[in-house]
Structure 1
Amino acid sequence: MASMTSDMIESVQEAHRLDEISLLDYLHRSVEGFPPRPVKLTVSQFGHGQSNPTYRLKAEGGNAVKFYVLRKKPPGKLLQSAHAVEREYQVLAALGKEGTVPVPRVFCLCNDPSVIGTPFYVMDYVEGRVFLDPGLKSVKPEERKEVYQAMGKTLAAIHKVDVDRVGLGKFGRRENYCKRQIERWASQYAASTAEGKPPAEPSMLKLTMWLRSNVPAEDARRDCAGIVHGDYKIDNLVFHPTEARVLAVLDWELSTLGNRMSDVAYNCMQPYVIDNGKSGGPGYYGFDKGAPSDGLPTQEEFVATYCAQGGASWPGPNWKFYLALSLFRLAAISAGVYNRFLLGNASGGKRAESSGKFACYLASCALQLINGGPIISDVPPSFAKIGNKHPGLSPSSRVLRLKEQLATFMEKYIYPNEELLSAHAKTEKRWTVHPLQEELKHRAQAEGLWNLWIPADSAAMASKILFDTDDAQNFDRLVGAGLSNLEYGHLCEIMGRSVWAPEVFNCSAPDTGNMEVLLRYGSPEQQKAWLKPLLKGEIRSAFAMTEPNVASSDATNIECKITRDGEHYIINGRKWWTSGAMDPRCRILIVMGKTDVNAPLHKQQSMILVDIKTPGVEIIRPLTVFGYDDAPHGHAEVLFKDVKVPATNILWAEGRGFEIAQGRLGPGRLHHCMRLIGSAERALELMVHRALQRKVFGKLIAQQGAFSSEVSQCRLEITQTRLLVLHAANELDNHGAKVARGALAMAKVAAPRVALKVLDSAIQVHGGAGVSSDTVLAHLWAAARTLRIADGPDDVHLQTIARLELKRARI
C-alpha cells in the first residue's frame, strides 16, 4: 500500500534496495517536469503495507524539490497474476483522466526489468492523513462519521465510473464475479500452502466449501458493470490534512470489473477481525456491528449511505456471503504474504512474519460469522430510522460556516460596490475590467471562497492540475471545499443575489461549465494550457454553440463546420450569444461544430478549443439583453473564417461533442437555478423593505391587503422552488445526471418562472424606480428572463418531463 504520509517512511529494506543511478537516468527520460540535472535523489520506503514495495523519491535539482512515489513488484518468484503493477498503472491512468475519482497522477510505467530489477511505475506523492486505525482514535468523535461518509461517497464515485467511456471496458470479465473470486483465492491459497510450505488449514477448506455453496445470483449488467477496487479500506485512502475529504485512493493491485457490493463488504469486515493480538496479527478495528460507538456509524448506516450515493440495491439477504468472501480473500492474501516472508522478499517486517497465524484466525472469524445471527436487516432501512443522521436537504455544519462567511463577504464587499461597478459598465471604458473586480477576486481567494463550484468528485483532479512549486502555498485555497452539488446549492444561492458576485468567487458562467468540461474531458496538455489559468482566475473563457440561422436548442442543428486537414482542423461558421467573448481577459473558446455529417445524428458533432487570438476569429459585435450589454463580460456574435487550430485541440475525440454537451448541461446549468433563488430572495427582501417605507392612500404599502397576499405568495413559491432545486442537486449527487434529468428539467422550468414572478412583484412595489437602473431589480429581471431561453427553452424541459411521465405510466 502506497501510504502518502511522512511518518510512515523508513529506510529502504536490504532486500528491496534499488539501483539508484539507473533509476535516476530513467526518471530524467520518462517523468514530465522532473528537475533538471544534476539531481540529488533520496529514496525512502513506506513501511506500511505488505504487497508491492513502495518508495518515496525526493528529487532536488536546480531550484526545484519534487516528491514522487515509486511502486514495484517484489523481487523473486511470485504467485501467478499477483502484484500486477501494470494493471494498477492502467486503472490509475484511466481514472486520472476521467477525473471523478481522486487518484494520484501517474507519470510512467516501466516494464524493463533491467532498470531496477522488476516492473514499476511512478506517480505523484500526495501529502495527507492515512488512518491505520479504522476506529479513528486519533480523530475527534464528532468528525469520525464524516470520515466514513467521505469513504462511502468516494467508493460510490468509483462504482459510478463508465468503464467503457474511460477505456476500461475490457479490464475484466463481467459475469460470475463472486464465483471466479472464490476460485481465484482458493487457487492462490493452495499455491501458498503447497508441498514444502505451511499446510492448509481445515478452517480455510471448510470456508471455501461454504462460499461455493452460497454464491448469490449476479446480473452482469446491473451488479458487475463497473470497476471494483478490490482492497477498499480506510488505510488505502489519503485524506485531506484537516478535512474529511479523500485526496487519493491507493493500492489498485486487485482492481477489476466486478460486483461492487464486494468492495462495500471488504470495507465493513473490520468488526469481525478484532484480533487484539490473539493471532499475532495486526489487529483490525472499525465501526461497531450494532449501536454507534464514539461517533462511528453502524454497518447498517454505512451500507445505507453507500446505497443512496451509489444507487445500489440493498444487499441484506446476501450480506453475510459478501463479508465471508472478504475475510476469505484477506486470509488468502495473508497466507501469500507469509509465503513471501519465508522466501525473504516480503514488505512489512514483523507484520509479514505474523501473517501466517493471522490467515488462520481470519478463516475462523469467517466461520463464526457464518454461524451467527443476522447482521443487517433484509429490508433496507429508511434514513429517518437511522438515528436521524441523514441531513436531508439542509446544509451541513461545514456549509453553514461557509454560508455565514460568504454572506459576510457579500455584505462587506459586494453590495456596497455594485453601484460603482454598474456605473463603470456604462462608461466608454465599459469593455475594460475595473481594478476593483480583480482586487475582490484576490480577497475571495485569500478567504478560501474560491472555486466553490468544483464538485467533490473532481476536487482531487483540480488539486493535481493546480499544484506545482509556484502554487504550493496557495493551491489549497484555489481548489474549493470539495462540495456536493447539494452543498454548493446553498452557497450558489447567496451569490445569485448580485450580478457581480459569481465572478468574484470564480463561480460564474460560462467559466464553471467550461472548467467542468476541461476537468472531465480535457487532455493533460489542454488542462495545463487552459484549465489551470481558469482555475486560478487569470483568464476567462466562452462557449460557442448557439448559431443565428438555426434553432440551437436542438444541438443536432448546428451548422458550423470543423474539417480535418492533416495535423490541423479548419473551422468555419457563425456563432452568437457567445457569452464572455467580449471580456478582454477571454482567451479560450470551446466551439461546437460538425466534423462528420455522414455519421449517426448524435455522433456528427465535436467540440474543439480555439485560442481567441487565432487568425480568422472575428468578434462581430456585442449583443444586448433587454438593453443590457453586460460589459465587460458581454455576449458576442463571432465569425470563424478558415480558423486553423492543431488537431490536438479536439476535446475527448471526434463525434463526442453531443455527449460532452449533455454532460455540461447537468451541474453547470443547475447553478443558474440556484442563483435564481438568490435573485428572488433579494427581490423579496427589497420589496418588503420598500413596502415598510412607502405610503399610498394614507397607509404603508405593507398594510395594504393586496400586498399581504402578494408577499405571502412570493414566499410560498420561493420556498417550494428552493426545495425543488435542492432536490434536483441531491438527485444529481446520488444518482447522476441521467437519473436526475426529470428533477433537473423541473428545476430549470420552475426557477426562472418563480424568480420572474417575484422580481415583477418587487418592481411593481418600487414603481418607476423598479424599472430604472437605480435598483438592481431591472438587471436581475433581464437575466432571469434570458435564462428561460439560455438554459434551454421551457418547451424542451417540459417535453423531457412529459416523456418520463409517459414512460412511468407504461411501466
Structure 2
Amino acid sequence: MATPLLGQVPPSHRFDAQALLSYLQSVVPGFPPPPATIQVSQFGHGQSNPTFLLEIGHDGKRSYYVLRKKPPGKLLQSAHAIEREYQVLAALDAKTDVPVPKVYCMCNDESIIGTPFYVMEYMQGRIFTDPGLSDLSPEDRSAVYRATAKTLASIHTADVDAIGLSKYGRRENYCQRQVDRWAKQYLASTGEGKPDPDPAMLRLISWLKNHIPEEDSKPGSRTGLVHGDFRIDNLVFHPTEIRVIAVLDWELSTLGNQMSDVAYSCMPYYINNRESPGPAFYGFDGGAPAGVPPQEAYLTDYCVAAKVPWPAETWNFYVGLSLFRLAAISAGVYLRYLQGNASGGKGSDLAGEFALYLTKTALKVAEEKSALPPAPLHLSDASGMDLRGFAPSPTVERLMKKLVRFMEVYIYPNEAKFNSHAFSDQRWTVHPLEAELQNKAKAEGLWNLWIPADSAALASKVLAVEEIKSQSANNKDWLLGASLSNLEYAHLCEIMGRSMFAPQVFNCSAPDTGNMEVLLRYGSPQQQRKWLKPLLEGTIRSGFAMTEPDVASSDATNISSSIIREGSTYVVNGRKWWTSGAMDPRCKVLIVMGKSDLNAALHKQQSMILVEMDAPGVRIVRPLTVFGYDDAPHGHAEIVFENVRVPADNLLLGEGCGFEIAQGRLGPGRLHHCMRLVGAAERGIDLMRNRALERVAFKKPLAYHGAFTSLLAECRLKIEQAKLLVLNAANQLDLHGNVTARGAIAMAKVAAPRMALKVLDAAIQTHGAAGVSSDFALAHLWASARTLRIADGPDEVHLQTLAKLELKRARL
C-alpha cells in the first residue's frame, strides 16, 4: 500500500515479524490464519511512539493493520504510555461518535517484539501534514478546518463517566500538573552530559506557574477528555470527502482542562515556518493561506460545537502552555536523537533549535495584553451559546412546525377515540390507530426525537445502522431521530406533552426512552441487538421495575428485591409496583433493580438486570390506577418475582452498578417529564382562554371578569418561569452532563409539576363541572402532573439536593 508517509524500518526499530504474526493469529479474532505472510513498513511522520503498517497476505488477498509500540531504549518516566492509548481508543470506539480506529489487542509481553505494543485498524484515507493545505482549494481548506473544529468538539463533549473513563485522570489542576510535568521532563533532558538548559525556558516556566487560570482548580465546562496532541496531521480524512474518519496519536490523552487542546490545535497561527527550524506540520509558511479561516473563525466553530465560552481572558496562558509543552517535547526528541533513539530520525537533529524558537515565541505571546479579541457578536461571553439564547434553532423550528401540524391533524382529533378505547372492555389491547399514526410519524421524520446527538452516533455504531438501511426495503432514516441536543428536544417534547396520547405515537414516551438510553450507554452488544433495535423501531415496549410497596423507595438504598448469582444465572425475587408499561401487551422486557451484595458499600449493593416478561416466576398481580386512571393499555403494574432465573448475560454493566445506571438514566428522563409538563400547562392555558372567551356569566364573557384576568396573567407568569428553568436545565445537561447539571435538573423537577398543577387547576376551575369530566383533557393531564411530584424522586428529595449544593457553596 503506497503512501509517502511509509518507509523501511530502520535497524533500531526492527523486530521479529514472524513472532508477531504468530501472536496476532492466536489473539485477534478473524486474523488471517497460517500460512499467512507479513510485511512490515514504518510510518515516518511524527517523533513519538514508533508506528508500523502490517501488510498480511493470505489466499491471494491483502489485509492491513497498524501496530504502535514504545520506542526502544531507556525512556523518560511516564512517557510513551501506549497502554493508555489503547484504553481510550477502546472506550471511544465502543460508546461515542468520536472517529477513532478499532483496536484489536494490547500486548505487554516484551518477549514478542521487545516492547509493549497494540494493534489497531488501518484507516484508508488522507493525512494532511501541511496545515496550510497547499494541495487543496480555498473552499476545501475552509471545510477541513471546520471539520477539525467539530471533531475536537466531539472529543470534548464525550461523557467520560458514561464510557468508563471517569478515572482516566484528575480533572482539576490539569494546567498546574502540565506545567510541573513538562518542566520536570525538560530539566531531565538537560544538564550534565546533556544540552544546557535555556534561560528563556526557565523564565517561561516561572511565568506559566504564576499565571495558571483560576478555572484550572475548579472542574466545570472546560474539563473532560483531553487529546493532548490534537492537530490536523493527527487526523485521517476520508479519501474523497472532507470528513474526519479517525483521530490518531492518543499518547498524551487524559482528563483535564480542554482549552489546552484547543490552543494546541491553533499552533500554526503562532509558528512561522519561514523562521522556525521545526517540522513544517507545526506552522504556516508566512501566514494562513487563502481559505484557511482566521484563528477567531476556527475558535468560533469550536465554541459553537462544544457549547463553551469564548476564552479571551485566558488565551495567552493556554497558547503559552501549548508552546512550552511542545518545546519540552522537542527537547526530549533532541536528547533521544543524541542517544540514537528518535523514532522518526528526520528532523530530530533540529529539535533542539526548534525548542529554542518555541520558547521565544511563547514568551512573546505571554507578554501580549490579549492574544484574542472580544467574543464575536454572535457568541455570548456568558455561555458560549448563540445569542438566540434558548430559542429554537432553524432546524428545530422546522420540526416544531411539522409536529404542531401533526398534533392538530392526527392527535387532537383522535383523543376521544383513544380515551374511549382506554375505558372500554378492550382497553388492554392497542388501538389499531396507534400503529397507523406511528407509521405517519416515521414517514415525517418525527420518530425517536428524544435521542441526543451523542446517543444517536453511539446507536449508529452499536446497531450498524448503515447496514440496516442498505438491507431494508424500507428506508430507516427515521430510526435514530434528528440528532438533537437536550435543549433542542425540549421545544419538541413540550409540544408532545400537550396530549396524554402523543408521546407514544412518536416513540418518545417513558419508560421506553429511559430504558433505551440505558441500553445505549450500558448495554452489552448482545443486549443491544436483542432489545435496543426493536425498542428503537417501536415493535416492542419495556418497563422499569424499581419502586417497591414495602419500603420508602424515595431512598433507593431501601430496595429489598434480590438479584443473586447462582452459576450461570441470576435469581430474582421481590415485589415491585408502579412498573409503568408492564401491562402493555407489547411489553417484552423489564429492567429490574435489586440487591446483589448486601456486604458491599451502601451504593454498591444494587444491580440492574434485564428480565423477560414471559420468564417463569414473573407474575402481574394487578394494574394500579392514578386518581382512577389505569392508563390502559400502557398501565402501571404491581409485579411479583418468584425465583425468576435470568441468564447472567442479562446483567447490565456489572454487579454493584445499579446506582450508576440509575443516575445516568434519571437525569434526562426527569427532564423529559418537565418538558412535557410545560406542554400540558400550555394546553391548559389554551383551553382556559378559549373557554373564557366563549362562556358568558353574569352578562359578560368570563374573560372579562377581573378575577379571571388576574388568574390568566398569573398562569402565564408561572409557565414562563418554569419553562426557563427547564430550558436552563437542558442546556446545563448538554454543556456539563448529569452530575454538574443535577442542581438545575432538581429545580426544574420541583417547579414544573407545581406549575402545571396550578395552571391546570385554574383551567379546570374555568371549565366548571366540565373540567373534571373526561370530555376535556384537563383532568387526565392534572392527574398525571400530580404523580410527577412523587415519581422519579419526590419534591423533598430534590429540595434536599438543592440545599446540599447551597451549603457546599458556603464552604467553598
1:622-665 per-position Cα deviation (integer Å, ceiling 9, x unaligned): 22222222222211111100011123332233223223323322
1:454 pairs, out of 423, 431, 451, with: 451
User: Which deviates the most, 602-611 or 309-318?
Assistant: 309-318
Residues 335-414 of structure 1: matches in 2 within 5 Å?
360=353, 363-372=356-365, 373-374=367-368, 376=370, 383-384=380-381, 389-414=386-411
- Show the counterpart of 2:422: 425
Separation (CA, whole Å) in 2 of partners of 1:650 and 1:675: 31
- Show the counterpart of 1:297: 296
Q: Quick one: structure 1 residues 122 and 387, their matched pair in 2 at CA, closer, same or farther if it must change by over 3 Å?
A: closer
User: Which deviates the most, 719-728 or 205-214?
Assistant: 205-214
- Deviation, 1:579, is 0.6
Give TM-score, length-normalised by structure 2: 0.79
Quick check: 2:479–2:537 contact (8 Å CA) kept in 1? yes
- Show the counterpart of 1:654: 655
Separation (CA, whole Å) in 1 of partners of 2:416 and 2:26: 56
Q: Quick one: structure 1 residues 686 and 138, their matched pair in 2 at CA, closer, same or farther if it must change by over 3 Å?
A: farther
Give TM-score, length-normalised by structure 1: 0.79
Q: Quick one: structure 1 residues 13 and 116, their matched pair in 2 at CA, closer, same or farther if it must change by over 3 Å?
A: farther
- Deviation, 1:607, is 1.7
1:252 matched to 2:250: yes
Separation (CA, whole Å) in 1 of partners of 2:241 and 2:768: 49
Q: Quick one: structure 1 residues 262 and 221, their matched pair in 2 at CA, closer, same or farther if it must change by over 3 Å?
A: same
1:438 matched to 2:435: yes
Quick check: 1:316–1:380 contact (8 Å CA) kept in 2? no
Identity of aligned residues (%): 51
Quick check: 2:204–2:362 contact (8 Å CA) kept in 1? no
Q: Quick one: structure 1 residues 569 and 189, their matched pair in 2 at CA, closer, same or farther if it must change by over 3 Å?
A: farther
Q: Residue type matched to 1:374 in 2?
A: E
Residues 166-315 of structure 1: matches in 2 within 5 Å?
166=166, 168=168, 176-184=177-185, 205=198, 208-216=201-209, 228-233=226-231, 236=234, 249-256=247-254, 260-275=258-273, 281-282=280-281, 284=283, 297=296, 309=308, 315=314
Quick check: 2:627–2:783 contact (8 Å CA) kept in 1? yes
Gaps of 5+ in 2: none
User: Which deviates the most, 597-606 or 491-500?
Assistant: 597-606
1:353-387 per-position Cα deviation (integer Å, ceiling 9, x unaligned): 67876985675254134124326489998934899
1:464 matched to 2:450: no
2:119 pairs, out of 111, 118, 121, with: 121
User: Which deviates the most, 740-749 or 416-425?
Assistant: 416-425
Q: Secondary structure at the match of 1:592?
A: strand
Quick check: 1:54–1:69 contact (8 Å CA) kept in 2? no
Gaps of 5+ in 1: 1-7, 347-351
1:591-611 per-position Cα deviation (integer Å, ceiling 9, x unaligned): 111223343333322222212
Quick check: 1:128–1:241 contact (8 Å CA) kept in 2? yes
Q: Residue type matched to 1:364 in 2?
A: Y
- Show the counterpart of 1:585: 586
User: Which deviates the most, 257-266 or 73-82?
Assistant: 73-82
Separation (CA, whole Å) in 2 of partners of 1:468 and 1:429: 36
Quick check: 2:543–2:589 contact (8 Å CA) kept in 1? yes
- Deviation, 1:716, is 1.4
Separation (CA, whole Å) in 1 of partners of 2:482 and 2:811: 43
Q: Secondary structure at the match of 1:692?
A: helix
Separation (CA, whole Å) in 1 of partners of 2:508 and 2:190: 53
Q: Secondary structure at the match of 2:209?
A: coil
Q: Quick one: structure 1 residues 492 and 58, their matched pair in 2 at CA, closer, same or farther if it must change by over 3 Å?
A: farther
- Show the counterpart of 1:349: none
User: Which deviates the most, 275-284 or 700-709?
Assistant: 275-284
Residues 2-41 of structure 1: matches in 2 within 5 Å?
13=6, 15=8
Quick check: 1:568–1:644 contact (8 Å CA) kept in 2? yes
User: Which deviates the most, 418-427 or 564-573?
Assistant: 418-427
Q: Secondary structure at the match of 2:622?
A: strand
Quick check: 1:10–1:44 contact (8 Å CA) kept in 2? no
- Show the counterpart of 1:71: 66
Q: Secondary structure at the match of 2:539?
A: coil
Q: Residue type matched to 1:406 in 2?
A: L
- Deviation, 1:150, is 6.6
User: Which deviates the most, 106-115 or 430-439?
Assistant: 106-115
Q: Quick one: structure 1 residues 274 and 31, their matched pair in 2 at CA, closer, same or farther if it must change by over 3 Å?
A: same
Quick check: 1:178–1:215 contact (8 Å CA) kept in 2? yes
- Show the counterpart of 2:685: 684
Separation (CA, whole Å) in 2 of partners of 1:413 and 1:37: 62
Quick check: 2:620–2:637 contact (8 Å CA) kept in 1? yes
- Show the counterpart of 2:513: 512
- Deviation, 1:674, is 0.8
Quick check: 1:541–1:580 contact (8 Å CA) kept in 2? yes
Separation (CA, whole Å) in 2 of partners of 1:429 and 1:152: 51
Q: Quick one: structure 1 residues 83 and 738, their matched pair in 2 at CA, closer, same or farther if it must change by over 3 Å?
A: closer
- Deviation, 1:482, is 3.6
Q: Quick one: structure 1 residues 735 and 86, their matched pair in 2 at CA, closer, same or farther if it must change by over 3 Å?
A: closer
Q: Quick one: structure 1 residues 171 and 120, their matched pair in 2 at CA, closer, same or farther if it must change by over 3 Å?
A: farther
Quick check: 1:673–1:751 contact (8 Å CA) kept in 2? yes
Q: Secondary structure at the match of 1:383?
A: coil
- Deviation, 1:323, is 2.9
Separation (CA, whole Å) in 2 of partners of 1:427 and 1:212: 78
- Show the counterpart of 2:705: 704
Q: Residue type matched to 1:425 in 2?
A: A
Q: Residue type matched to 1:272 in 2?
A: Y
Separation (CA, whole Å) in 2 of partners of 1:305 and 1:216: 30
- Show the counterpart of 1:568: 569
Q: Residue type matched to 2:585 in 1?
A: P
Q: Quick one: structure 1 residues 401 and 128, their matched pair in 2 at CA, closer, same or farther if it must change by over 3 Å?
A: farther
Quick check: 1:331–1:362 contact (8 Å CA) kept in 2? yes
- Deviation, 1:307, is 10
- Deviation, 1:166, is 4.9
Separation (CA, whole Å) in 2 of partners of 1:460 and 1:590: 23
Q: Quick one: structure 1 residues 546 and 137, their matched pair in 2 at CA, closer, same or farther if it must change by over 3 Å?
A: farther
Q: Residue type matched to 2:65 in 1?
A: L
Quick check: 1:9–1:46 contact (8 Å CA) kept in 2? no
Quick check: 1:100–1:520 contact (8 Å CA) kept in 2? no
- Deviation, 1:39, is 13
User: Which deviates the most, 496-505 or 96-105?
Assistant: 96-105
Q: Residue type matched to 2:693 in 1?
A: L
Quick check: 1:129–1:239 contact (8 Å CA) kept in 2? yes
Separation (CA, whole Å) in 2 of partners of 1:139 and 1:400: 30
Quick check: 1:74–1:345 contact (8 Å CA) kept in 2? no
Q: Residue type matched to 1:455 in 2?
A: P
Aligned-residue RMSD, C-alpha: 5.3
- Deviation, 1:581, is 1.1
Quick check: 1:230–1:263 contact (8 Å CA) kept in 2? yes
1:559-585 per-position Cα deviation (integer Å, ceiling 9, x unaligned): 112222233221110101101111222
Quick check: 2:330–2:351 contact (8 Å CA) kept in 1? yes
Quick check: 1:182–1:212 contact (8 Å CA) kept in 2? yes
User: Which deviates the most, 172-181 or 320-329?
Assistant: 172-181
Q: Quick one: structure 1 residues 131 and 432, their matched pair in 2 at CA, closer, same or farther if it must change by over 3 Å?
A: farther
Separation (CA, whole Å) in 1 of partners of 2:613 and 2:388: 45
Q: Quick one: structure 1 residues 727 and 241, their matched pair in 2 at CA, closer, same or farther if it must change by over 3 Å?
A: farther
Q: Quick one: structure 1 residues 172 and 417, their matched pair in 2 at CA, closer, same or farther if it must change by over 3 Å?
A: closer
Q: Secondary structure at the match of 2:694?
A: coil
- Deviation, 1:695, is 3.1
1:631 matched to 2:624: no
Separation (CA, whole Å) in 2 of partners of 1:232 and 1:662: 32
Q: Quick one: structure 1 residues 34 and 624, their matched pair in 2 at CA, closer, same or farther if it must change by over 3 Å?
A: farther
Q: Secondary structure at the match of 1:478?
A: coil
Quick check: 2:557–2:602 contact (8 Å CA) kept in 1? yes
- Deviation, 1:548, is 1.2
1:241-300 per-position Cα deviation (integer Å, ceiling 9, x unaligned): 9999988654313324666553343133231125379767246469x99xx996863688
Residues matched between the structures, number: 782
Q: Quick one: structure 1 residues 636 and 214, their matched pair in 2 at CA, closer, same or farther if it must change by over 3 Å?
A: same
